[in-house]
Amino acid sequence: MNMQKIYADLHIHIGSSRGQAVKVTASRDLTLEQVLFRDAPAVGLQVAGVVDAACAGVFSEIEELIENGRLFEQIGGGLLADNGMVLIPACEFESREGAHFIAYLPGLNALRQWQGFIHPRLSNSRLSTQRVRTGLKDAFHACSDCGGIFCPAHAFTPHKGYYGAVAPSLADCLGSEAGDIKVVELGLSADTRLASRIAETDQLMFISNSDAHSSKNVGREFNLLEVECADFEGLRKAITGQGPGRIVANYGFNPLLGKYHRTSCPECGTICTEAEAADCCVSCGNIKVVMGVYDRILMIADRDADSSAVIRPPYRYRVPLHELPGIGPKALRALLAEHQALQVMEELAIGEIEAIAGARAAAGVAALRAGSYRIEAGGGGKYGRIKLD
């Protein structure tokens, strides 16, 4: 059996469609065509999961690209662009419980069926991440009926993450059907080691995605997958653990870099630094804090770190090239003129990087690969920063 390795970012937003807003908080320049034909290929991705595919404008653009011969439906699901990029159509939505979920769907017919379920239950079919007037269980069943993959999105964050904002267990809302969910998205403030503190996650595969709201963030977190075929069924087998296929590695932020890593106080601005979990401000006593991912996981954890018997793919800490010390705009342009961003980060020899962009750029990439850097921790809605000695 011939297997292939692919890079996939399965959570990318669309800012606008035909001049109208889709994801209100995203850049208006982030369009479907830009993602498929510029941003994702430039990074070095082979698979892009667009989570606004069920929005009316984006859906009509997909249909138009198919009619014009720029997208083709694959037998195994997913849409193949004429530049080789694979589009996995998906929909991020908010359930009645107040958490975000992603329904990954195999193709146009499944998208239409999913639209038939959600559009009568939301206020504006053009906008992204709408609150749908339905509970988690009904949405899960609807996704299954469409042949889709159901995934809790950024599951540990305080803003709309299931574990972070709703309940400590999927069984609290899904009962015995919780075991039917096979994959969960870590989000930018959690990694494999943190998420594994919750025993229930032993049944789940972890994926790490960018949740990109702008071009520069496409691929900031991603997955290296080994698949039979770069289509929906190949993806399903790889990310749900129902092989053949597998997740080779997850690439993403060190949790310290996440903007919601620790509990923060909106009143006095204090960010908790104590080892113990904090559910109130350690400085002023305010109880209306923004709960940190680290703090929340410690509160709901039911075992110690590293006590899981599940052997998981490695989680490798990465940040986009433009955020690395030593890589300014000139060095970045020089590198990307000859290579894709993921190729620079993961494959290009350090000597070649130095020859193209200079010693400081090469040192930055070397430090990123080796993990030999300091972190100015994030929190309170602000991302952390990498510091090189």
Using a pLDDT cut of 90, give the percent of the chain over it: 80
Query: Cα–Cα distance between 138 and 353 in angstroms, integer?
Result: 51
Residue 4: predicted pLDDT: 96
Q: Are 229 and 76 in contact (CB under 8 A)?
A: yes
| 389 pLDDT above the threshold of 80 | no
pLDDT in tens, 134-188: 999 999 999 999 999 999 999 999 989 999 999 999 999 999 999 999 999 998 8
**Confidence band of 89 (pLDDT split at 50, 70, 90):** very high
pLDDT tens digits for range 66-82: 999 999 999 999 999 99
Which tokens hold the place of 274? 């104590």
Tell me the β-bridge partners of 251.
Answer: 222, 316
CB under 8 Å to 112, separation ≥6 — which residues? none
What would the pLDDT profile of 301-342 be if each residue is shown by its tens digit? Answer: 998 877 888 899 999 999 999 988 889 999 999 999 999 999
For the stretch 333-374, pLDDT in tens is: 999 999 999 999 999 999 999 999 999 999 999 999 998 888
Mean pLDDT over the full length of the chain: 94
Tens-place pLDDT, residues 204-213: 999 999 999 9
Residues in a beta bridge with 259: none
**Calpha distance 230→183 (Å, rounded):** 18
φ, ψ of residue 306 to 5 degrees: the values are 65, 15
pLDDT at residue 273, as a whole number: 87
pLDDT of residue 378: 79
- Residue 6 clears pLDDT 80, i.e. is over it: yes
What's the pLDDT tens digit per position in 237-273?
A: 999 988 899 999 999 999 999 988 999 999 998 888 8
Least confident of 81-95, 191-205, 280-294: 280-294
**Contact indicator for 225, 6 with CB cutoff of 8 Å:** yes
In 10 A of CB 329, how many CB atoms? 8
Backbone angles phi, psi at 387, to 5 degrees: -125, 130
CA distance 355 to 331: 11
How does residue 223 score in pLDDT terms, banded at 50, 70 and 90? Answer: very high
- Structure confidence at residue 68 (pLDDT): 97
Can you tell me the distance from the alpha carbon of 92 to that of 324, in angstroms, rounded to the nearest whole number?
30
The helix or strand, by DSSP H or E, that contains position 335, with its residue range, turns out to be helix 329-338
